[in-house]
Structure 1
Amino acid sequence: MLRKFLSVFEPFILTLVGTVVLASLLPPRGAMVAVFEGIADAGIVLLFFLHGAKLSREAIVAGARNWRLHLAVFLSTYALFPLLGLGAQASGILPPALAAGMLFLTLLPSTVQSSIAFTAMARGNVAAAVCSASFSNLIGIFLTPALVALLMRSNGMTVSFASIQTILLQLLLPFALGHLLRPAIGGWVARHKQLVTIVDRGSILLVVYTAFGAAVVAGIWQQLSAADLALVLLVCLVILAIVLGATWGVARAMGLPREDAIVLLFCGSKKSLVSGVPMAGVLFPAAQVGMVILPMMLFHQLQLIACALIARRLAQSAAPAD
């Protein structure tokens, strides 16, 4: 059991932790800040371009017929999660900056790769998972900034016209271009999945390094204590447990087949680090980004651990039936 638990900590997670340590010890300063920001922006543009090229229209059409399932995933992602985020903020248990980061976490779209992978591992409806996760990410490009503008005003964080313009040019436009060019480059992208993975993770690491470097210069580690980190971890655990229980309970109440219930469980309980880190970099001042993405990074690892263990258990329970 311990070996299975530790296996969830994939090399990327260790690299992510190492990036935070590097940013804490050697943050970019002076002219290097603009250099790293430029490289990170270019990586994000390439990332969304490749994700647009990966998006399969056939899979979306095949899965889109199951509208009840997709509506349930949507409501979990963009209604249940934000309500929990608002509740965590109203409780006053977290310092204001971390409470803002927790609320931002709950406004993000679902993941794509891990939602599909865990659905497949648990022998769920993979086509429906592709549709739900892709739709969540696509609408999140518009909906997450809108929810930030609507729900985070009390934190003094507003979405400016410049932020909206940056989202359109840096996230949506490359995504749309990549999808339009899918007939020409989709096959090449599918054959070079490792390239997409490298761009995925490299872009995240660059943004995390730049954001945490700016936060370190602004004094993030003087503002945070071990107790604060423990509280963030606890709140993340509580939110994840509530959503996992709620999605599985709703699936049973709706009478969904086991394969579709698995889709709701995994697609409806996740938040995307890939989408969240670039959006945070666009929506918030550089000095605040490090604090904002901290809950997201902790939640990301917790969801991987929990869902990996659950997917294994569901796969084992399905084996006798097969």
Structure 2
Amino acid sequence: MKNQDSLLREIWVHPITEFLKSQWFFFCLAIFIVIARFAPNFARDGGLIRGQYSIGYGCVAWIFLQSGLGMKSRSLMANMLNWRAHTTILVLSFLITSSIVYGFCCAVKAADNPKIDDWVLIGLILTATCPTTVASNVIMTTNAGGNDLLCVCEVFIGNLLGAFITPALVQMFTNRAPFQYGNPATGNGIGALYGRVMKQVGLSVFVPLFVGQAIQNCFPKYTASYLDFLKKYHIKIGSYMLLLIMFSSFSTAFYQDAFTSVSHVCIIFICFFNLGIYIFFTGLSYLCARPWFIIKIFPQEPVEGKSTRLYRYSYSLFRPFYYSKKDAICIMFCGPAKTAALGVSLITSQYGDKKEHLGKLLVPLVLYQVEQVMTANFFVSLFKRWIQKDDEPDGSESSYTNENEEIDVEKNVSINTGENQAVSSNIMPFANPK
């Protein structure tokens, strides 16, 4: 018996077993996809448990309640004022990604391959115009050691603006050939769409974040005890909620025959296209977050009396656009990511009069969500090693939030993993850190 127990312990701590245990998320995701395939009515929008509310609101709200409990109010406000990072992410998320995908779709359309469904191409364009995802990029940024505070702010801003920007981009891309057949401009439902998205962002992001902040400041001891409990027993609330969100998305897609309404060749094309475009956008986000030419043009901090006025003003204007590694990780996760939690609402609201094509329109978005989570999970370990490799040795990076004051940001608790980590970063607008 003792030999058997020791053998079981050896197997349990074996490197292969440890690797398999570390991949628990994907095993659970596979199980949920199988359940969604054979019982789609359980968690779909309007299904047995009313997935649009119980999961679409409840699970997302729990994620941001955790965020509110784990972040210092002063730090959160400091990152909310980081207008440079918000501008970079919004331009990437809405304009650059959608324009590139539109160009690829035009090329595929011109090839006139009968196996690639025309409405799937519209679905790819719709996916590219959606705002950044609500949950997964926050979790991945936290796990990679990036600036999760900035990520939470971007989720709120991006999804709030997405209610206005996404329909406008869809109109811009589909109001003329070759995609005019997919124009949703029927004059109905746009006002309702805005109201629906504002309601969802408010109730699932803003309110729980505010409640978490209020609890943290009013009951700091109880909050610390709760977070310590999550850390002690390795309870990863964010990952559990993300699984349920993806479960609901797949249930809705299967219920609407999204995967049976198009050919297998088309599904394979979407999978490879999504994977390639996500990796490409991640690399593009890195180039936008840390443009090498800024360091070449502004290698040193301006010195009073020695540097010209032009150099000082140019330095203060452009040098902050070379972001710290923590901010760069946030940008690389937020820029390419697309939301399914709100994306499904955005698509169904715009195409309410064309429900016969709704399944085809949702296929690219649902597949993109699972592929971005799997790929981002791979990037987490790479980014974590990158940020720990040299601990910002070159002294050429900083995070910027306000041009008139120096803010010391202390982040004591990681959001969704429940891990207490002490991280501090100096935010200095016109000076090199360290």
TM-score by length of 2: 0.58
Amino acid across the alignment from 2:54: I
Give the drift of 1:136.
1.3
- Among all aligned residue pairs of Structure 1 and Structure 2, give the percentage whose two residues are the same amino acid: 14
Pairing of 1:263-274 with structure 2 (within 5 A): 263-271=326-334
Letter paired with 2:140: S
1:14 deviates by 2.6
Q: What residue in structure 1 maps to residue 403 of structure 2?
A: none
Please point out which of 187, 191, 200 is paired with 1:161.
Answer: 191
Task: Identify which of 93, 97, 100 aligns with 1:81.
Answer: 97
CA distance in 2, matches of 1:83, 1:182: 37
**Among 154, 159, 165, which residue is 1:136 paired with?**
154
Q: Any conservation in 2 of the 1:73–1:267 contact (CA below 8 Å)?
A: no
In structure 2, the residue corresponding to 1:181 is in which secondary structure?
helix
- Aligned match for 1:39, one of 54, 64, 76: 54
Q: 1:22 aligns with which of 3, 21, 35?
A: 35
> In structure 2, do the counterparts of structure 1 residues 162 and 269 end up closer, same or farther at CA, with 3 Å as the change threshold?
same
Aligned residues: 311
Aligned to 2:323: 260
Q: Tell me, yes or no, if structure 1 residue 72 matches structure 2 residue 88.
A: yes
Rounded Cα–Cα distance in structure 2 between residues aligned with 1:148 and 1:64: 22
Residue in structure 2 matched with residue 99 of structure 1 by the alignment: 121
Tell me, yes or no, if the aligned pair for 2:126 and 2:347 is still in contact at 8 Å. no
Q: Please show how residues 1-322 of structure 1 align to structure 2 within 5 Å.
A: 10-28=23-41, 33-37=47-51, 38-44=53-59, 46-47=61-62, 50=65, 53-54=68-69, 56-63=72-79, 67-92=83-108, 95-106=117-128, 107-109=130-132, 111-118=137-144, 120=145, 126=146, 129-153=147-171, 154=174, 155-157=182-184, 160-186=190-216, 187=220, 191-192=225-226, 194=230, 200-250=238-288, 251=290, 252-255=292-295, 260-271=323-334, 276-285=339-348, 288=359, 290-291=362-363, 292-313=365-386, 315-316=388-389
Work out the CA distance in 1 between the residues paired with 2:213 and 2:278. Answer: 38
CA shift for structure 1 position 314: 5.2
Q: Is the 8 A contact 1:77 1:109 kept in 2?
A: yes
By how many angstroms is 1:15 displaced?
Answer: 1.9
The 3 A distance-change label for structure 1 pair 189 and 297 is farther
State the secondary structure of the residue aligned to 2:55: helix
The aligned amino acid for 1:242 is F
> Aligned AA for 1:33?
G
| Shift in alpha-carbon separation, 1:131–1:82, aligned structure 2, 3 A | farther
Shift of 1:294: 1.7
Deviation at 1:200, TM superposition (A): 4.1
CA offsets 1:178-212 (integer angstroms, 9 cap, x no match): 343345313456654559x7664555444544443
Q: CA RMSD in A?
A: 4.2
- Are the counterparts in 2 of residues 101 and 295 from structure 1 also a CA contact under 8 Å? no
Distance 1:229 1:140 in 2: 29
**CA contact 2:131–2:338 (8 Å) conserved in 1:** yes
**What is the alpha-carbon distance in structure 2 between the residues aligned to residue 320 and residue 140 of structure 1?**
32
Task: Return the letter of the residue paired with 1:81.
Answer: T
Structure 2 residue aligned with 1:123: none
Q: Give the Cα separation in 1 of the matches to 2:32 and 2:141.
A: 25
CA distance in 1, matches of 2:337, 2:93: 16
Task: State the SS of the aligned residue for 1:278.
Answer: coil
Change (3 A) 1:293 1:180: same
- Look up the equivalent residue of 1:39 and give its one-letter code: S
Contact conserved, 1:23 with 1:213, CA < 8 A, in 2? yes
For the 8 Å contact 1:28–1:213, the answer to whether it is kept is yes
Q: d(CA) in 1 for partners of 2:160 and 2:46?
A: 31
Q: Which moved more, 1:72-81 or 1:140-149?
A: 72-81
AA aligned to 1:277 is A
Q: Which of these two proteins has the greater Rg computed from alpha carbons?
A: 2
CA spacing shift, 1:183–1:244, aligned 2, 3 Å? closer
Deviates more, 1:16-25 or 1:153-162: 153-162
